[in-house]
A = this chain, B = another copy of it.
Amino acid sequence: MKKYCYGFVLIVSVAINIFLSINLYGGRVQYSEKKLMLQDVDLGWSKKAAAEAEAIAAMPCSGHGRAFVDSLISEGGQLICECYDCYSGNDCSVYSPVGCTVDAKSGDPIFMEPFWMQNAENSAVVISGWHRLGYWYDHGDTMSIELERHIRKLHSVVGNAVTEGRYVVFGIGAMQLLSAAIYALASENASSPSNVLATIPYYPMFEHQTVFFNGKAFNFEGDTKTWQSKNDTDGKDVIEFVTSPNNPDGALTEPVLKGKTIYDHAYYWPHYTPIPSPSDQEVMIFSMSKFTGHAGTRFGWAVIKDKSVYDKFLQYIQFADLGISKDTQLRVLKLLKVVLEGDGKSLFQYGYEKMSDRWEKLIPIFSNSKRFSLQKRQPSHCNFFNQTRLPTPAYAWVKCERPEDLDCGAILAAGNIIGSPGSNFRDKDRYTRLNILMSEDDFELLLQRLTELVSLENNSIQTM
């Protein structure tokens, strides 16, 4: 149904069921939880950007990719689709399965894309050219109070962290906050720097960051197991990274040494693990990446018990970069509002169903194999879904069982699957981490490649 007028744009009526509603009376904007009509708003300055965004979002990319407003433009002036693995061409119409590899190396959480497409209306954000030019919000801080309030509400709904009486600090993803945590907890006694440890297999960034930033107040000391056996912690300043659920293997973990702890809870969401109880640790770090799928948005937060530790986090953020982009904070606020709609379960239901489905498809493939195995999973009670369930980790932690298969990554690579080798996590290369958070297309390809590999099990495979 189309009409044409000229020189102006007419929004006739936005009579949608909206919970966050706007009335315009004398220039005031009224928010309420009631269903009200958003009407009488003639769109002006925002319509061009909106039309551009919708036009680009509507590009079909043959169903095997998508285009973004900042995608590249071809020499012919055409926006280029960004294709899933094994598809190519400006519109992703060219399928080249032979010999093409499936990339399961990174932790890109593309599996959440359909959820956000289904919730397009409420998750869209329009940022004006003059949105928050200044460094500070009106209350004199670089962190949005509204956003902090939504984060606290989120943890209360999910039941995965205690936030009452705790401090919250925003960071550039969990990544920055892991580093901030080291600075916040490190020894102030220059003659005895803190010893930073983690338990193998561990997320490699702990080590990379601590070594790279090379502070005078801390040293990376590697695996906690070495220290346990030596009973080495007595009297020494220890900071232990505890990733729970663990990256790469998805296990709920506990600290093994006596000392200060940094809980990396990036995966402590109902998509991946039963939530037995709210975490109540000194320093807990969360992020958008694995929770809503917005890895590219680079937003995380720390929940902190102690005021002096909190103050050091703030100092770190101030000196590192003067805080998080206001654009990012606005977008995250919008996303959290969608997550918290209704009973606050729809995103987690989507995530858990998707992950369960993927594990249910992986298991039979590995059950047919004696060469490859997956990590064991134990059921436990999830308070959020109020049911006993298996963990559904973000990664398959694949073990090559044959004594001669010392380099599992190479064996998978020969089957056109790219994983992350065990040695990245300071474990044996007999293990490989496979990301299963990719797009549906890429996951189907991964299943196909794994099935091919297992079907070849009694034949010899070149191990490179």
Contacts and interface: CB of A to CB of B under 8 A. Distances in A.
A213 to B, nearest CB: 7
Contact of A49 (B11, B91, B126, B297): B126
A136 B106 contact: yes
A305 to B, nearest CB: 23
Interface string A19-55: 0101010011111100000111111111111111111
Nearest to A338: B129
The winner among A44, A110, A145 for most chain B CB atoms within 10 A is A44
Contacts of A40: 2
A402 interface: no
B298 A27 contact: no
Interface residues of A, number: 138
Contact of A41 (B46, B51, B183, B215): B51
Given A130-B113, A322-B175, A124 B214 contact: no
Contact of A48 (B38, B179, B183, B209): B38
Nearest to A18: B48
A7 interface: yes
A461 interface: no
B212 A213 contact: no
Contact of A53 (B32, B46, B295): B46
Copies of this chain per assembly: 2
A328 B325 contact: yes
Nearest to A209: B319
A324 B176 CA distance: 12
A319 B213 contact: yes
Interface string A70-82: 1111000111001
Interface in A131-149: 131-136, 138-139, 144-147
Given A123-B128, A134-B295, A14 B48 contact: yes
A258 interface: no
A309 to B, nearest CB: 15
Given A22-B55, A55-B24, A212 B136 contact: no
A164 interface: no
A298 B325 contact: yes
A84 to B, nearest CB: 11
A50 B130 CA distance: 15
A176 B318 CA distance: 10
A95 to B, nearest CB: 17
Interface in A309-368: 315-316, 319-331, 333-335, 338
Given A129-B123, A216-B215, A324 B298 contact: yes
A52 B28 CA distance: 12
A8 B217 CA distance: 61
Interface string A265-276: 000000000000
Contacts of A129: 116-117, 119-120, 122-124, 334-335, 338
A306 B379 CA distance: 54
Given A29-B59, A72-B146, A325 B327 contact: yes
Interface string A174-197: 011001000100000000000000
B56 A29 contact: yes
A100 B101 CA distance: 66
Contact of A330 (B10, B70, B173): B70
Given A43-B43, A214-B216, A296-B327, 15 more contacts: A2-B12, A4-B13, A11-B43, A18-B48, A20-B52, A38-B55, A46-B121, A71-B138, A72-B138, A117-B129, A124-B128, A124-B129, A126-B126, A127-B127, A179-B319
21 contacts: A2-B10, A9-B11, A10-B10, A14-B51, A18-B48, A29-B55, A41-B51, A41-B55, A43-B51, A46-B50, A53-B126, A70-B333, A72-B138, A125-B127, A129-B334, A134-B295, A172-B322, A175-B319, A175-B320, A298-B324, A327-B327
